Amino acid sequence: MNSKDITRYIPKVKAKGAVVDPGDFVFAAAYLDHGHIYGQVGGLLEAGGICKYVHDPDPYKVKDFTRRFPGVKPITDINVILQDKDIKLVAAAGIPDTRGRAGVNVMEHGKDYFVAKTPFTTLSQLDEARQTSAKTGRKYMVYYSERLHCESAVYAGQLVQDGAIGDVVQITGIGAHRLNASTRPSWFFNREQYGGILCDIGSHQAEQFLYYSGAKDATVLHSKVGNYSNPQYPELEDFGDATMVADNGVSGYFRVDWFTPNGLSGSAGDGRLFILGTKGAIEVRKFVNVGHDNKGDHVFLYNETDEVHIHVSGKVGCPFFGDLILDCINRTENAMTQEHAFKAAELCLLAQEKAMKIC
């Protein structure tokens, strides 16, 4: 391998910044139960959006939010947001089992909805959102952050689309997360509220499988869940996995868990992605390069001509947020199709529903 081979894959720095003029896209934030709201709002602000209001019943959550995002007006009545004609979109991260109904309410008031994963905890919630989105023409977009807000995952998608590894054959996703049980709210340990591990953090993996495979649909062949190490939280599932096959024949497997030990650097866990193609393979180390450094966004690629390691942090950007803003304005589907967002949610719900409980 020589430098000529490497430079072929060095991504060009994507321009960051606003895709609209100030005031062209006004949104609000509501229901601050999950920290993903900060990524959702931060991404929209960076792309030129203006956050006008924030709402949550808990004043302490609102205070923390306005500390991070000065200038956003706190309101105690969600109807202020729903009735304000300037608001184009509501970004939300409520308790998982409440997200679907909240989104339906937002869409029925003529606004688009951008929600943290997992977007639903039951198939009936998904069905209601599908029907309401179709009826109103409003978007129900999902913050699948492990692909959308991760430069190495974005770049892996570019490599696949460019044909760097030929046709995709198999995808393996590893969603290792740090439990930090003492910092978690009570709903995190309530099965009905968080939906189960495959429904929750497995939603990232289901979405990635659909995206990198280029599939429209998939079948869940087998799944299982367990609580290996947390008997004090009997409704917590600390391990889960699933095997799928896409409608285009691509095979998939993912594993999610809450077993990240304190000795691992970084905060999120050793999240990885493996994509096998007919002419090569890609590995993504999203959050940490174990044994080397605690910086994420490492992409490893080998194919018929090259073998390269590219650290893409700061070199790719996350175009989803700008694309989403423009989609909301122009009623296009460049950031993500509605069909894709709902199908990913459906797959993780089906995996959860079919899961064998092993312990």
pLDDT of residue 15: 59
3-class SS shares of the chain: helix, strand, coil, % to 5: 35, 25, 40
- What is the model's pLDDT at position 2? 42
| Domain presence at residue 123 | yes
- Residues 86 and 130 grouped into a single domain: yes
Pair of tokens at residue 245: 């096959």
155: number of Cβ within 10 Å = 22
Residues 232 and 326 in one domain: no
The CATH number given to whatever domain includes residue 116 is 3.40.50.720
208 shares a domain with 122? no
* Per-residue model confidence (pLDDT) at position 267: 74
| Residue among 125, 137, 266, 286 at smallest CA distance from 204 | 286
- Cα(58)–Cα(136) distance, integer angstroms: 30
Clarify whether residues 258 and 155 are in a common domain.
yes
- Rg over alpha carbons for the chain, rounded to the nearest Å, is 20
Domain that holds residue 158: 147-318+350-357
Residues 281 and 199 in one domain: yes
Inside any domain, residue 65: yes
Q: Is residue 277 part of a domain?
A: yes
SS (H, E, C) 106-141: HHHCCCEEEEECCCCCCHHHHHHHHHHHHHHCCCEE
Q: 98 in a domain, yes or no?
A: yes
Residues 170, 312, single domain; the answer is: yes
Supply the pLDDT for residue 1.
Answer: 38
- Say how many domains are in the chain: 2
Do both 206 and 66 map to the same domain?
no
Phi-psi region of 20 (alpha: psi -120 to 50; beta: other; left: phi over 0): beta
| Phi-psi category of residue 204: left, alpha or beta, with phi > 0 → left and psi -120 to 50 → alpha | alpha
Examine residue 213 and state whether it is found in any structural domain, yes or no: yes
Assigned domain for 75 exists: yes
Same domain, 187 and 130: no
Question: Whose CA is closest to 260, among 175, 195, 352, 197?
Answer: 175
| Domain presence at residue 256 | yes
Tell whether 204 and 217 lie within a shared domain. yes
Residues 157 and 291 reside in one and the same domain? yes
Q: Which residues fall within 8 angstroms of residue 153, CB to CB, at 6 or more apart?
A: 146, 147, 208, 273, 284, 286
Residue 159's domain is classified under what CATH number? 3.30.360.10
Instruction: Note whether residue 275 is domain-resident.
Output: yes
Query: Does residue 268 share a domain with residue 126?
Result: no
Residue 3 confidence (pLDDT): 41
d(CA 275, CA 159): 11
Predicted TM-score (pTM) of the model is: 0.96
Q: Name the region of 273 (left: φ>0; alpha: ψ -120 to 50; beta: rest).
A: beta
- Let me know whether 38 and 134 are in one domain: yes
pLDDT of residue 10: 76
pLDDT along the chain (359 residues), means of 10: 60 78 97 98 97 98 98 98 98 98 98 98 98 98 97 96 97 96 96 98 98 98 98 98 98 98 86 98 95 90 94 93 97 98 98 98
